[in-house]
Amino acid sequence: MNRRGFLATSTAAAMAAPVDLSLTCRKDFPRALNETYFNSAAQHPLGNHSVAAMHAYMDYLHKGPGGGRKDFWEHGLSQVKPMFAKLINAKPSEIAFTGSTTIGENTILNGMDLRGGNVVTNDLHYSASLSNYLTRQQLHGLDVRVVKHRDWVIDLKDMERAVDARTKLIAVSLVSSVNGHVENIKALSQLAHAHKAYLFADIIQGVGATPVDVKAMGIDFASSAMYKWLQGEHGFGFLYIREDLAGSVVKPTEFTGHPDFNYAPWVQATAPGPAGLINHPAQGMAAFDCGTPSVITYAAQHAAFEYMAKLGVDNIRAHANRLIARLRKELPTLGYTPITPKDSPSSIVTFLCKDAELVRKKIRESKAKISLTGPNSALTVGRFGNHIRFSVSVFNNDQDINTILEILS
């Protein structure tokens, strides 16, 4: 059987599988109709529903009330934290708005007392986070211990050897952006807590595509932006701090709140009690909230949350894993070596290629539309020299797999 016949047979078999969200979802993401897109781990295309929500918010700002227009800030923003909290099995009171995943991680680090202690992480944590820790090591003398992967997998025993009685924090990416490796997060939580330390998880490459339960997993702190598997846009995100740790283990460092002006001419008559300028600092998780949030970004996310809730994270994961299984089976026969663990349940699979520039050339010369430049490219090729990373979402289908296999064959 020739390759075209093999692909046709593979497609027929795959389409018989029970989970194919693309049959209903593909039309909701026009970018998937315009090009073959395998880069949701970098930027998830915006869905029609999210774009409509952003337009509705802009329409209100543009025209004001009337004609069915409502201010999302007043009518929808308060629902967004509970929606995220439900997704990760947290309380809404444990969620704050934050500027990005990294800003959330910095909020934790800046609020903890790390003096005399150490932080344990590994080289599959997000690269900007590693730079963050190394900079703190250089500038502040923080003892940072970076465990190296073994054949693209983090060995729990190596993490155990790096942790000691002086460890204050274990910080990892739940799902690695490098290769989709999923940490044994429950075991790391138990390791941290056994040493009276805490666990931070960067969950941006997991939440929305991989089930996350911060309570069952034992995660103390987590953060995520919205533009990857939450199917939203750049600009803001979410910070989770376990209820009993906010203000105690992690103290706020950017203070907000409001004052009362209990003196003339602010008031006609001074109210009973203290006179003058009376401060009311923000309390609890409110003390960790960013300043004015990007309301239009959260409007888009609100629509994305509603869309994802209808699909279900388990179905999203099953859909991605079915297509990833085809890549894992067929790309090695073409000379591409997978560096993602076989049992990884994430929506990312990464391969080593012998010549990244040759891969780019094949893609550029093909008839397929696959953009390779810029932060919003359709495929990540050549990251860390010779990696080709596929990240699969609800709009991807078997024809996308066929297209890339034809190009790379």
* In the chain, where the domains are located: 3-45+312-408, 76-254+282-309
* Rounded-to-integer distance, Cα 329 and Cα 75, Å: 48
Encode burial over 133-156: b for 16+ CB neighbours within 10 A, e otherwise.
Answer: beebbeeeebebbebebeebebee
Structure token digits, residue 30 = 């026009």
**What's the pLDDT tens digit per position in 58-90?**
999 999 999 999 999 999 999 999 999 999 999
**What's the pLDDT tens digit per position in 222-279?**
999 999 999 999 989 999 999 999 999 999 998 889 999 999 999 999 999 888 999 9
* Rounded-to-integer distance, Cα 252 and Cα 264, Å: 32
Name the band, by pLDDT with cuts 50, 70 and 90, for residue 329: very high
Determine the CATH number of domain 3-45+312-408. 3.90.1150.10
- Beta-bridge partners for 385: none
- Beta-bridge partners for 274: none
**What's the pLDDT tens digit per position in 171-183?**
999 999 999 999 9
Determine the CATH number of domain 76-254+282-309. 3.40.640.10
Sheet strands (E) in 142-288: 143-147, 167-173, 198-202, 221-225, 237-241, 257-262, 276-281
Under 8 Å between Cβ of 360 and 381: yes
pLDDT of residue 1: 36
